[in-house]
Chain A
Amino acid sequence: MREALNSALDEEMSADPKVFLMGEEVGEYQGAYKISKGLLEKYGPERVLDTPITEAGFAGIGVGAAYYGLKPVVEFMTFNFSMQAIDHIINSAAKSNYMSAGQMSVPIVFRGPNGAAAGVGAQHSQCYASWYASCPGLKVLSPYSSEDARGLLKAAIRDPDPVVFLENELLYGESFPVSDEVLDSSFCLPIGKAKIERKGKDVTITAFSKMVGYALKAAEILEKEGIDAEVINLRSIRPLDRSTINASVRKTNRLITVEEGASVVEESFAYLDAPVERIAGADIPMPYAANLERMAVPQVEDIVRAAKRACYRVVPLAAAA
């Protein structure tokens, strides 16, 4: 996967001079995990910036540079360190386009390894998928295979909105077969679409990143016992590809979500007697105008309606959640 990420960065930087890479050890050290190997030599120190240890500062600088059309790729040595910069990822990158009513868009990518590696301890191991997935205004991607890595990183860099790109350290060294199409420099995957890695009919297993590998292995074991599992590689955690998940669950009636951290889609579809209804606030940052603000949070009438539906007083909604 390392080559996949490196080649994606290389091609995007070559295609668009506004793309630049910023982070600790990305330049002379060739990248803490060697993802940016060779880029400093090719593009020079003005486009591959070694920063001091100032996550908050350089994440903010990235956002400010992105306001007017540069395309920064900000690398966090691990996403645990993004906690130091989370103010900028959430308060300025994710919210700016909304607060400024479209005047300041932020085409930035925050990338780095996420989740557990091997024995690196609590402060280097947390999975941030559900943290960032709860934040309106952000897109959150997580590749599993090399094809995912190339296609999604290219899509992320080209995307006009802030993207959090969660890689996995243990996958960097893994190799995956790729087709010629994937190697083409214009290859790009759509954001918001999941991939069915393995078709099945008895149970749906959704996962992302390293867990897809585990799910595929589990599917093999299940097959021997007569259970045909369908494995979905989410690829995009926010926005979630509800269409693919729903279609799959309607087919199999059973859903298992696999994730290192807390569940993203918590047993929404399992053991159902009635469709689960999730009542949530509107999926946006809190607007300022008073009438919009009222609309963005659940109101009593919404809760009453949902309760009636669950009690079969009203025709249920076709697709829950």
Chain B
Amino acid sequence: MATAFSPSKFAAQPFPLNTTSQNNPLTIPTTASPFLGSTRKLIRLSSSSNLNLRRRSGTVVKENKSQSTPNLLITKEEGLELYEDMVLGRAFEDKCAQMYYDRKMFGFVHLYNGQEAVSTGFIKLLKQQDFIVCTYRDHVQALSKGVSARAILSELLGKATGCCRGQGGSMHIFSREHNMLGGFAFIGEGIPIGTGAAFRSKYKRKVLKEADCDHVTLAFFGDGTCNNGQFYECLNMAALWKLPIVFVVENNLWAIGMSHLRATSVPPIHKKGPAFGMPGVHVDGMDVLKVREVAKEAIGRARRAEGPTLVECETYRFRGHSLADPDKLRDPAEKAHYAARDPITALKKCLIDNSLASEADLKAIDKKIDEVVEEAVEFAEESPVPPKSQLHENVFADPKGFGIGPDGRYRCEEPKFAEGTALD
């Protein structure tokens, strides 16, 4: 019942289908992990590695290669790149947690531990000019896209050297250079923004006649977002206008303390794709190689102007919703189950078992990343806070937008304007 996610299949049928097997989504095939959250009894897993193909996930492109070893999916260089990216994401997030509990970091901090395979699997396939947009859980996607650890960490500490000069914070990471479009606290909000970026790519090609503009946008968001109106509005418009976007659902089964099952009438999210005229694919989001294969197809589709795709990644966050979340509602057995499927451990095992890398290689990467993160911490801690004069900057692209003051001059030109007193 495993089905392939292949472009030719979609070309033939305008209404293609989700590629997972189930006719009845609520039954659980015994070889597979329980998908549906802690209210169901866990089924004992097979002990084989994550990288054996599971029947229920859309994975490799061609059926006849389903028994091939992962060697053919990646090269050594690619494997090490993926490993390094995931370790960077994990180390960074762990450092954030440590600093938060040491009271050096403040505000809302939402960590991505456990979901690294989704970010790495997708973003490492992008070009610099492609766009990504996320919700508030955006540190790791920004790192994968190339924003430096020091810039993000400085931002989290509210320093002037942060990627947004301390004005954005954890939930609002933006980078024009790396085409990271944010960082939105409202979960549905990033989806139309990403759809707009995809619209722009198409507009540039069609109206402004920039023929080689084939930039793709990835929109990352969670299971909770899939019940929000803006999600549906954008699925409709993206399919209607055939925009080059991939909607990546990081289904970690929980929206703060609300289980996906309690919030959703039809839990399998990938099924919502075909309803709007685009393929809907489910993939095991704890396995970076599987995610990468699905991502290749989806991104390729968008680049060839064939339209959007909805990819549902089954994943899990090892920590709470945010660092302030006591995380009491999730069943410890469920957490243990997913902890055993840690994507970093799985990739490590795959690389070693298939002789793509040695323990020493991987340990060297671990050490390198530790140094990068430590250096980022030092840099951030030593950076200055924003100066008072920064208070009124960047509200408008054109600061004359503050208007004309009582004496007839533009307020932004008055010498005391930047002193930021609380008087209007």
Q: Which residues of A contact B (CB under 8 A)?
A: 17-18, 20, 46-47, 51-52, 54, 56-70, 87-88, 91-92, 96-107, 136-137, 139, 159-161, 191-193, 236, 238-244, 246-247, 277-285, 287-292, 295-299, 302, 306, 318-319, 321
Contacts and interface: CB of A to CB of B under 8 A. Distances in A.
A197 to B, nearest CB: 18
A100 B164 contact: yes
A246 to B, nearest CB: 5
Interface string B221-252: 00000000110011011001000000000000
A309 to B, nearest CB: 11
A297 B421 CA distance: 9
Interface centre among A46, A66, A92, A244 (most CB of B within 10 A): A92
A164 B15 CA distance: 40
A67 B181 contact: yes
Given A20-B207, A99-B164, A101-B393, 5 more contacts: A100-B167, A103-B174, A103-B176, A289-B158, A289-B166
Contact of B194 (A56, A64, A139, A242): A64
B424 A278 contact: yes
Contacts, number: 259
B192 A103 contact: no
A243 B413 CA distance: 14
Given A54-B237, A243-B408, A99 B195 contact: no
B401 to A, nearest CB: 5
Nearest to A43: B207
Interface string B94-115: 0000000000001100000000
A156 to B, nearest CB: 12
Nearest to B194: A64
Contacts of B394: 97-98, 100-102
B423 interface: yes
B195 to A, nearest CB: 5
B349 interface: no
B391 A284 contact: yes
Nearest to B191: A60
B386 interface: yes
B192 to A, nearest CB: 2
Interface string B152-196: 000100111001111111001011100001111110110111111
B304 interface: no
Contact of A102 (B184, B385, B397, B420): B397
A295 B408 contact: no
A61 B401 contact: no
A199 to B, nearest CB: 17
Contacts of B127: none
A51 B80 CA distance: 45
B183 A99 contact: yes
Closest 5 CB pairs of A and B: A64-B196, A239-B403, A60-B192, A57-B233, A100-B174
A69 B133 CA distance: 17
B203 to A, nearest CB: 6
Given A57-B230, A242-B404, A288-B107, A65 B199 contact: yes
Nearest to A295: B420
Nearest to B236: A52
A18 B176 contact: no
Given A60-B230, A243-B408, A284 B422 contact: no
Contacts of B340: none
Interface string B198-225: 1110010011100000000000000000
B172 A243 contact: no
A99 B168 contact: yes
A169 B158 CA distance: 46
Nearest to B233: A57
A70 B407 CA distance: 35
Interface in B377-395: 385-386, 388, 390-395
A201 to B, nearest CB: 20
Main secondary structure of the interface of B (DSSP, over half): loop
A243 B184 CA distance: 37
B206 to A, nearest CB: 5
B396 A161 contact: yes
Given A63-B193, A91-B189, A99-B182, A299 B203 contact: no
B326 interface: no
A288 B195 contact: no
Given A284-B392, A289-B385, A291-B386, A296 B422 contact: yes
Interface string B48-88: 00000000000000000000000000000000000000000
Nearest to B197: A64
12 contacts: A57-B236, A65-B197, A67-B196, A103-B174, A281-B422, A282-B420, A282-B422, A283-B402, A284-B392, A288-B164, A288-B172, A290-B158
Contact of B174 (A63, A104, A287, A306): A104
A282 B421 CA distance: 7
B230 A243 contact: no
B353 interface: no
Contacts of B411: 239
Contacts of B208: 17-18
B172 A99 contact: yes
A291 B385 contact: yes
B406 interface: yes
B7 interface: no
Contact of A192 (B400, B421, B423): B400
A193 B404 CA distance: 7
Contacts of B396: 97, 137, 139, 160-161
